[in-house]
Amino acid sequence: MPAKIIDGRPVAQRIQGEIKRAVEDLRAKSGAAPGLGVVLVGDDPASAMYVRMKRRACDRAGLRSEARILPAASTQAEVEDAVRAYNADPSIHGILVQLPLPDHINEEAVLNEISLAKDVDGIHPMNLGRLGMRGREPTFTPATPTGVMQLIAETGEAIEGLRAVVIGRSNIVGLPVALMLAKANATVTICHSRTRDLPGTVRAADIVVAAVGRAEYVKGDWIKPGAIVIDVGSNSLPDPDSEKGYRYVGDVEFESACAVAGYITKVPGGVGPMTITMLLSNTLKAARRSLEA
Ligand code: NAP
């Protein structure tokens, strides 16, 4: 039997509807809307597109958003100043620094500047550290990994005791997903470019999270029958049949994996819609803490 599809779109729509109602409530009580401040450095078209998508989603849900768009040649001090200005602005409750930053900018120093109370991307080293520590809770968890966990929850399967394999160990996806799965009491293996026998390791997993950045890399015969497969990958492949000339595929070979898995996400329409939703949710949470205090 083919896998059940975990469709991120209706889940995202449902949660965005809840956020919209909560924002209206907050406005009625406090007279203010949650505000997101975005720092974008340079003119990378993909980053600019992500920022536009995030700001549009804010509009739809009734959140206020603004962006400080700095030239690629900005200095370290200018980028850090942009973050500090949002820290000091009471109408901004959440700050998003769109990554990657240009090579000459020290990313960690910039992220360190974000006020913990406004770190709605959950990317401040203190928040990531707390995510990994026993008995500590981060102020916010990063958007994409939180979306992954929400999609796993949609299956109704209990995570505790399951074997999870996360392929990828980036600071924004692989590592935090692995930490969140471990917090949920899964037994977690983190795989990366130096992992020996990746297919054999994946075959033991009840939960597979693929965050590799390589089109259709994970094959169906790597998947344990019945496993939950969450495909974070977003890769464009040339496609002369499509209007745009390309199409998006995940890190998992969907057709072959779908035949074996118990549950699987699609690309597009899986993790992608959840990422923005979780950013909105964190910004609402930050605004509530500030406005209802
Ligand atoms: P990244 O920073 O490039 O990290 C990729 C990870 O995959 C690294 O840890 C790397 O290992 C590992 N890797 C590379 N080749 C491998 C191989 N052959 N075998 C095993 N592991 C390998 O990427 P990322 O930012 O985490 O993003 C991963 C994917 O998710 C991308 O497709 C990205 O577009 C997508 N993404 C989607 C969303 C969304 O909202 N849908 C959000 C963020 C990212 P090393 O550490 O050893 O180099």
In this structure, are 164 and 268 located in the same domain?
Answer: yes
Considering the domain architecture, whether residues 263 and 156 belong to the same structural domain is answered as yes
Asked whether residue 278 carries a pLDDT value surpassing 90, the answer given is yes
Say yes or no: 89 and 169 in one domain. no
CB neighbours of 185 closer than 8 A, spacing ≥ 6? Answer: 159, 160, 161
Cβ(142) – ligand 1 distance below 6 Å: no
Decide if 120 is inside a domain: no
Whether 237 is covered by a domain: the verdict is: yes
Residue 63 CA from chain centroid, whole number: 19
In a domain, 132, yes or no: no
pLDDT at 2 over 90: yes
Checking if the pLDDT of 145 tops 90, the result is yes
Residues in CB range of 219: below 8 A, 6 or more apart: 199, 253, 256, 257
Q: Is the CB of 168 under 6 A from ligand 1?
A: yes
Average pLDDT of the residues in 161-178:
98
Residue 281 lies inside a defined structural domain of this protein: no
Domain shared by 189 and 237, yes or no? yes
Residues 203-226: tens digit of each pLDDT: 999 999 999 999 999 999 999 999
148 and 111: one domain?
no
CATH number for the domain harbouring residue 110: 3.40.50.10860
Residue 232 burial (10 A CB sphere; 0-12, 13-18, 19+): buried
Q: Determine the average pLDDT of the residues in 59-68.
A: 98
Confidence of residue 33 (pLDDT cuts 50, 70, 90): very high
pLDDT at 39 over 90: yes
90 and 155 share a domain?
no
Q: What is the per-residue pLDDT for 293? A: 79
List pLDDT tens digits, range 100-142.
Answer: 999 999 999 999 999 999 999 999 999 999 999 999 999 999 9
> 150 lies in which domain range?
143-272
For residues 200 and 86, state if they share a domain.
no
Is residue 70 located within the same domain as residue 155?
Answer: no
CA nearest neighbour of 84 among 102, 65, 97:
97
Active site residue 121: yes
Q: How many domains does the chain have?
A: 2
Looking at the structure, tell me whether residues 179 and 267 fall in a common domain: yes
Q: Residue 13 catalytic?
A: no
Mean pLDDT of the chain: 97
Q: Is 169 in the pocket of ligand 1 (CB under 6 A)?
A: yes
pTM for the predicted model, two decimal places: 0.96
Residue 251 lies in a domain: yes
Q: Are 100 and 112 in contact (CB under 8 A)?
A: no
